[in-house]
Amino acid sequence: MLWYKAWLETRWRFGFLFLCTAGLLFLPDFLNAPLHRWWIAIELQSALMGCFAGTYLAGSGINTQTFYSATSGFHGSMLFTLSLPVSRRRLLFVRAGLGALETCVFVLLFEWLTLHFRPQATSAAQALRYGFRAVVCTMAVYALSVFVACILDEMWQFSGVALALGALGILQFRSTIVARLSPLRGMSLISYPITGGLPWPPILTSVAMIAVFLWLSVMTVERKGY
């Protein structure tokens, strides 16, 4: 029931992202744009779309997810959810797990779309390498958004994550160390081309960020008063 309830709360957001991605397939014909130029435009958006999906699908911690707009406080059905015979940790893992699955599906769909418009042929190994690093680095953004959702209301969640990612983006342009470790670069086709090897520094950094933010999220929801 928890998985089904979480799906009912997130299906509209997932469907919106799915339709936006599917719409990109028809834009070249509508705009009469050459495919190779359209691929460059999509390539530039790879990290941006990953950040947006990771933030948009992260849910609201263990709060009830609203359908269309951000809200302050929590939804009335939150009292029903907390009254269920289930631990807060399990509730968080169910919500975060479903959102992570939806985010991975979106990232892989966007990857397929990007490679579909790529002028050069792409091997299966290249596609798998890019898909792996794109999913892992996007999950770091997702885990950050889950943590922010556990400490802020839904109306401030997106803004808080956007400010954190903006600060990270500025730091990676000013510091070579941050640039090597940043998950944002691992998500980008420009920073690490498909034909190159796996960028292990941002991948390992992303794995560490996922573990830390999930641990902080669990500690937060178990101590927070609702």
Encode the chain (226 residues) as per-residue pLDDT tens digits.
Answer: 777 877 877 788 888 888 877 776 666 655 665 655 666 666 667 778 888 888 888 876 666 666 555 555 555 555 556 666 777 888 888 888 888 999 999 888 888 877 776 767 677 788 888 889 889 999 999 999 999 988 887 778 888 898 999 899 899 888 888 888 989 888 877 777 777 778 889 999 999 999 999 999 999 888 876 6
pLDDT at 127: 81
CA atoms within 13 A on the CB side of 26: 4
Neighbour tally for 83: CB within 10 Å: 8
Q: What are phi and psi of 33, to 5 degrees?
A: -100, 140
**Is residue 46 within 8 Å of 99, Cβ to Cβ?**
no
Asked if residues 154 and 64 have their Cβ atoms less than 8 Å apart, the reply is no
* 179-186 contacts, C-beta under 8 A, 24 or more apart: 181/205, 183/137, 183/138, 183/140, 183/141, 183/209, 184/47, 184/51, 184/137, 185/47, 186/133, 186/134, 186/136, 186/137
DSSP 145-162: HHHHHHHS-HHHHHHHHH
pTM score, two decimals? 0.84
Tally DSSP H helices, then E strands, for the chain: 11, 0
How high is the pLDDT of residue 88? Answer: 80
